[in-house]
Structure 1
Amino acid sequence: MIVTHDRNSRFHGRRNKALLTGLLAATLALTACGTAGGNPVPSVGYQGFTPPSLPALGRLGQPEGRLSVLAWPGYAEDGSDDPKVDWVTPFEQQSGCKVDVKAFGTSDDAISLMKTGQYDVVSASGDASLRLIAAGDVEPVNTSLVPNYADVFGFLKNQPWNSVDGTPYGIPHGWGANLLTWRTDKVSPAPTSWSVLFDPNSKYKGRITAYDSPIYIADAALYLRAHRPDLGIKNPYALDSTQFQAAVDLLKKQRPLVSDYWSDYLTESRSLTTAGAVVGTAWQMTVNVTKDDGVPLESTVPSEGATGWSDTWMVASRSQHKTCAYLWLNYIVSPKVNAQVAEYFGEAPANAKACAATVDPTHCATYHAADAAYASKIAYWTTPISQCLDGRTDVKCEDYGAWTQAWADIKG
């Protein structure tokens, strides 16, 4: 998932767009071809997916004095970018742990960086978390050492992207949906189905914007689950060879309809504002920012449902600063800080008590933070693995390596 610091313009305008656009532009090619840091992203052997046997921390010790944080931009602000936006310094003062923050641009970047063993904690999206677990780069988390975990919404806990066989591997942090958005002055009637993007006869051919990532194959699978029941798709991240090929074929047919693919919200916002795009898949913050610029835009979760993300803070198995790591996990999901990050980042907070701490009293309503029914419509990003995540054992499913190769072929 590509993100930026500056999602909710109602609080901090358009600061840092140039800097972040440069960062994001530098990673677009990596996302499209499934590379990180210029190196091919390995396809981890998930056969049977038995995680390495790693223990969770049993008890907290004396804080080690240092913590290296690997995070999506906007998740670990230290005031260096904006003195008014700083939740790292208070943590340092409270814990005695000096924090170094490294921002990454894509999940594949995070995978490569974690392999160096230089980081103690990472904020991982669902398209990265299982890869980190399978590689042994992160370890189970002892949630009893994270008191604020008790207040995390139940529908975010023990999910396929943050746990394995009931063992938690991280602390949920925030989440959001990949919405269908459209310009109300250009698109009529208001669409209620993803068919407006996938129908080869869509009247908006050449004016459609779509997400640029191998994980977008899941959006096609989600659509096929509703419109091709004969394929038997249950989970858009668990696709056998036949189901996978159907999703790939659909995206190849969609390719001529798409005017541009985006990996950061600024690119899509510009497309919807001035570049001729009128409909596409988007994040809630994209909708908010673009509407704030005066563009008549609306969005919805279509009848077929939607994909989305739920990010998780995870502890590196090779960390030498695990007490500091746990203090960070508890701090970053505390009500006040989780509220600050959620507003700054533009997502729903994970901590239920954070909703009472947001500056904007409507933030949680806008992002459906406490709405379990809304959340149930979302198929959260989960790393595709060869062991089918829908429970089938008589077939193998296509893993993330296959998804990456297929995406390069789709894009051409």
Structure 2
Amino acid sequence: MTHRKVRRSRIAAACAALTLITAGAAACGTESGDDDGGSDGGAGFTAPDLPQLEEIGEGEGEVNILAWPGYVEDGSTDPAVDWVTPFEEETGCQVNVKTFGTSDEAVNLVKGGGYDVVSASGDASLRLIAAGDVEPVNVDLIENYADVYDFLKERDWNSVDGQMYGVPHGYGANLLMYRTDIVDPAPTSWSAVFEEDSPYAGKITAYDSPIYIADAALYLMNTQPDLGIENPYALDEDQLAAAVDLLKQQREQISEYWSDYLKEVQAFTTGDSVVGTTWQVIANVAQGENVPVEAILPDEGSTGWSDTWMVTTESENKNCAYMWLNHIISPEANAAVSEYFGEAPANPKACDIASEGHCETYNAGDEEFAEKLWYWTTPVEDCLDGRTDVKCTDYGAWTQAWTEVKG
């Protein structure tokens, strides 16, 4: 990132947006095998049979948007940050926005009605699809969709059986950050935070959320193949128990769990933490404050996020909703959002507009990098890895397990 003088309000919004504490996320709609005319696309449930928009008509005059903080900016936060006004001027659709702090909050708000569009992370999108709260999206009506990176299309968290339920917006990785003047040799593996009797015991940090269980599962998937883990979000009881055991072992060496980016930056600044999970945007802030840190994608790959703009089933402004989906992944808007928020854009043409170095910093368009990421997805009983001979643990079980880990 070339702009070191990043507004803290922007980064704070980004980090708040990425905090996925989704208690009770197990409720995921109908189960696979139900004969309701839907389709089972391997997402762990059967999608309801809902129609999609066939043509875009005249705008209704407004669009009600539910979004992560930092995704819908109209210049009120910073006059220089505004991709809403051009949309309103071009379409005549007045933007009304409400922000949310967690995926669980977003799901509940959508169920309450009154919104046309929602920006959903992977742990919310599947729940919304399964419950019939969002509808299939006709991507043929969205001109800029053709430009979106192919590796973000028709994925487990945004589609069912090849049917898209939204447009990809941006993505990022959970990285391993370390103090370059203290951690020697430089780490290349998540073993740096999971190995027993680490030389950095007491100075290791980890993300504070039940979804972090997937990070432990990913490490076990690579180091203990006999456990049979093929998807870090599809854990049966024995596999979850193994991940919990690893996390309990790690707990003895943790300095603190973080969810606030400022606290992580401060901990790495003082040396209270010297190695642990981070986001690229946080590493940028720390480096901008002259903290000697680096952030890497370890050999095992990592967890990450990929957000999707979705249209609600009960939307009363579907024409404006589709116009917004097309606008938000346009090169201009996608470049502006990805820089302000701190992530890789979904549209490669955004890289021609973004500040020099932005797309390189966030590995935009690097398909090999993206394929090493296991994007956040809600655990459900119907195993996401395709197993049918066993029930997997749902997010309710993960939440209980996380409480047990932290003690």
TM-score per shorter chain, which class?
over 0.9
In the superposition, relative to structure 1, how do residues 101 and 11 fare at CA in structure 2: closer, same or farther (>3 Å)? farther
Deviation at 1:388, TM superposition (A): 1.4
User: C-alpha distance in 1, partners of 2:244/2:132?
Assistant: 30
Q: Is the 8 A contact 1:46 1:386 kept in 2?
A: no
User: C-alpha distance in 2, partners of 1:46/1:313?
Assistant: 22
Residues 75-109 of structure 1, C-alpha deviations (whole Å, 9 max, x = no match): 11111111111111111111111111111111122
Corresponding residue for residue 9 of structure 2: 16
Deviation at 1:15, TM superposition (A): 4.0
* Pairing 1:356-375 to 2, within 5 Å after superposition: 356-358=352-354, 360-375=355-370
Aligned partner (choices 194, 200, 205) of residue 196 of structure 2: 200
Corresponding residue for residue 378 of structure 1: 373
* Pairing 1:71-90 to 2, within 5 Å after superposition: 71-90=67-86
User: C-alpha distance in 1, partners of 2:366/2:9?
Assistant: 32
Deviation at 1:275, TM superposition (A): 6.0
Tell me, yes or no, if structure 1 residue 310 matches structure 2 residue 310: no
Corresponding residue for residue 282 of structure 2: 286
Aligned partner (choices 272, 293, 296) of residue 297 of structure 1: 293
Q: Is the 8 A contact 2:2 2:358 kept in 1?
A: no
Aligned partner (choices 391, 395, 409) of residue 404 of structure 2: 409
What is the letter of the counterpart of residue 7 of structure 2? R
Q: Is the 8 A contact 1:9 1:292 kept in 2?
A: no
Deviation at 1:405, TM superposition (A): 2.1
The TM-score with structure 1 as length reference comes to 0.91
Corresponding residue for residue 150 of structure 1: 146
User: C-alpha distance in 1, partners of 2:59/2:75?
Assistant: 23
Tell me, yes or no, if structure 1 residue 232 matches structure 2 residue 228: yes
Q: Is the 8 A contact 2:4 2:285 kept in 1?
A: no
Deviation at 1:47, TM superposition (A): 2.4
Corresponding residue for residue 260 of structure 1: 256
Tell me, yes or no, if structure 1 residue 330 matches structure 2 residue 323: no
Deviation at 1:350, TM superposition (A): 0.3
Q: Is the 8 A contact 1:127 1:215 kept in 2?
A: no
Corresponding residue for residue 341 of structure 1: 337
The TM-score with structure 2 as length reference comes to 0.92
* Residues 262-271 or 198-207, more deviating: 262-271
Corresponding residue for residue 389 of structure 1: 384
Q: Is the 8 A contact 1:183 1:278 kept in 2?
A: yes
In the superposition, relative to structure 1, how do residues 150 and 42 fare at CA in structure 2: closer, same or farther (>3 Å)? same
What secondary structure is seen at the aligned counterpart in 1 of 2:74?
coil
* Pairing 1:44-123 to 2, within 5 Å after superposition: 44-45=28-29, 47-48=31-32, 49-123=45-119
Deviation at 1:13, TM superposition (A): 2.6
User: C-alpha distance in 1, partners of 2:7/2:182?
Assistant: 26
Aligned partner (choices 175, 180, 183) of residue 179 of structure 1: 175
Structure 2 residues not aligned, in runs of 5+ = 33-44
What secondary structure is seen at the aligned counterpart in 2 of 1:291?
helix
Deviation at 1:334, TM superposition (A): 0.2
Deviation at 1:184, TM superposition (A): 0.5
Residues 291-327 of structure 1, C-alpha deviations (whole Å, 9 max, x = no match): 0000000111111111111111011111111111000
Residues 240-285 of structure 1, C-alpha deviations (whole Å, 9 max, x = no match): 1211111122112211221221223222212212361111111111
User: C-alpha distance in 1, partners of 2:5/2:312?
Assistant: 33
Instruction: Give me the identity figure in percent.
Output: 62
Deviation at 1:61, TM superposition (A): 1.6
Tell me, yes or no, if structure 1 residue 125 matches structure 2 residue 118: no
Q: Is the 8 A contact 2:11 2:342 kept in 1?
A: no
In the superposition, relative to structure 1, how do residues 17 and 246 fare at CA in structure 2: closer, same or farther (>3 Å)? same
In the superposition, relative to structure 1, how do residues 323 and 314 fare at CA in structure 2: closer, same or farther (>3 Å)? same
What is the letter of the counterpart of residue 217 of structure 1? I
What is the letter of the counterpart of residue 3 of structure 2? R
User: C-alpha distance in 2, partners of 1:19/1:287?
Assistant: 13
Residues 185-230 of structure 1, C-alpha deviations (whole Å, 9 max, x = no match): 1211101111111112111111111111111111001000011110
What is the letter of the counterpart of residue 44 of structure 1? C
Deviation at 1:396, TM superposition (A): 1.6
User: C-alpha distance in 2, partners of 1:46/1:221?
Assistant: 26
